């Protein structure tokens, strides 16, 4: 898959809620996901492998409710990367707390698949 086609499919999936279903199509089996900070309970900022990335999506869907949001992009960078800007209002399903958050995802592509994603955001 070409970079822009892959990037547009990722963004469309995030917008229409099929992002988890798209993981098998868009990501390499050995893809790596990197958070800006180590999350509570995690041993590392990095998650290795498609199954681990699926686990991150499952955790998010089980624990967070999207109340409102916009997704901007994709923003291609050369032939092997693109960025996406996410602005969201979410509710923690466990605490009921509502939070507004922004992040930028940078996606690295090789052989037509996402091989690395890096998320940039400010922690308060």
Q: Does 40 have pLDDT greater than 90?
A: no
Domain count within the chain: 1
Domain CATH code at residue 86: 3.10.450.50
- Has this prediction a pTM greater than 0.85? yes
Q: What is the pLDDT of residues 87-106, one digit of tens each?
A: 999 999 999 999 999 999 99
Q: What is the pLDDT of residues 52-72, one digit of tens each?
A: 999 999 999 999 999 999 999
Enclosing domain of residue 66: 3-120
**CA separation, residue 88 to residues 2, 97, 104, 110, 111 (Å):** 28, 14, 12, 29, 31
**Mean pLDDT along residues 23-33:** 97
Identify the pLDDT of residue 38. Answer: 85
């Amino acid at each position: 898959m070409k970079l822009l086609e892959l990037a547009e499919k990722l963004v469309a999936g995030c917008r229409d809620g099929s992002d988890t279903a798209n993981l098998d199509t868009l990501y390499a089996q050995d893809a790596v996901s990197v958070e800006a900070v180590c999350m509570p309970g995690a041993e590392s900022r990095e998650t290795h492998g498609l199954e681990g990335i699926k686990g991150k999506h499952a955790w998010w869907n089980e624990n967070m409710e999207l109340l409102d949001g916009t997704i901007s992009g994709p923003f291609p960078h050369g032939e092997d990367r693109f960025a996406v800007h996410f602005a969201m209002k979410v509710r923690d399903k466990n605490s009921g707390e509502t939070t507004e958050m922004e992040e930028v995802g940078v996606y690295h592509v090789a052989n037509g698949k996402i091989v690395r994603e890096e998320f940039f955001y400010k922690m308060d």
